[in-house]
Structure 1
């Protein structure tokens, strides 16, 4: 069986600063992987690199294969046929993802008609309603006529998820999709994402600094530090098989059992014997 995603020796540098170092990561169809690490570990860079969305000054080497074929990073026209249609991407900030002068209906119908040439306006509207229903937005037909500022943060995040599904992708990458949401809304969005990924049978990569968030929607976790992938393990085995850095991440999380205690912190420079070539 052809793998869904195969990343081979992927490295990214911005001038003298190396953001990713020789990343190897493979996903089979239906894999649900959490990509975790502290800020600056390279998680978001990895997601953007896969889709060829890094800025022009990024020096990128290595190869990414999707469903057995190399992704054509150097051909932007070819990559537009991958983005959205075969790989969906959910960005961190829903407020910055939509034009304030266009309705939500305009955003989604344009994306649908771009992903599915030949779809008429009426069909695109009906399809948009179905997508908003799938992400659990009430009165979806009415809400298509609303502007982004008329949505709450949680609802706008749901719209962004709907927009990422317009091409019926085989892989969905979500970059910190619940960062700006309160705990209740976060749980609701994660539950909804879990149901959609399961129903569609998609591969799923959830990028987050929060292991608790990953535990809600993933079955495996890959841990990054300093641009390197240091561990991949089944979520059920995480505590028993945790790498020292992964254990430090777990201990840094606030829990009810630590109430009144000082939280653990992670040093700026970690022991060199934690890593093969650090």
Structure 2
């Protein structure tokens, strides 16, 4: 992570932050965050990320102290990001990487990290998914529809990246991404009450309605039906869409081209909104 950060719009250094300014977030996970892709200094889907943060704060008004609404408005956040990039030669105005907004204790913290070193390989080769956690979530668990700072459950599974399921034997998500399956002539993603995070890219694909002629639909996906999937990819805001060339031991040669096409469509929307 880079040393330059911002707190409530003020450019700071990471080493100068004070723990007591974020005590509820640190000790209790009482807060929310969102990560977004930055391409050549432009934050992709920023307005959508800010809207999701505001929605999470509104859903838990008594548990998380919200910052001033102006601190989560599009123009001030863009201005803060721009000033951070210009203040640090290690970032620079054409920075490409990942930004993170964390909200807790009435404050907004903006941090940056570089693009992962294996990002290009991941886009080119995809990522196999070979593990399942069949009862990791409980159906309709409300907190899992929000990206809370209490993220250890997902963080502990990030390396293995298992498919997470609920007590009814249905797919929910990956620890860091939403899932899409080519099933029964459609591109299917689990519903929010599975539960799963209302991912930004997930929402973009659902709004599009079609990818490569496949209707994009939201419906329960039994874990047992994964054996019938002819392609699969996962989505998040940092990587957009990553193909799954092997799913639970089955080769899925259609996944990489499908993910590539989805990624191109997502990028087109991102730049229209940027």
Instruction: Name the structure, 1 or 2, with higher relative contact order (CA <8 Å, separation 6+).
Output: 1
TM-score scaled by length of structure 1: 0.27
Q: Structure 1 or 2: larger strand share?
A: 2
TM-score scaled by length of structure 2: 0.27
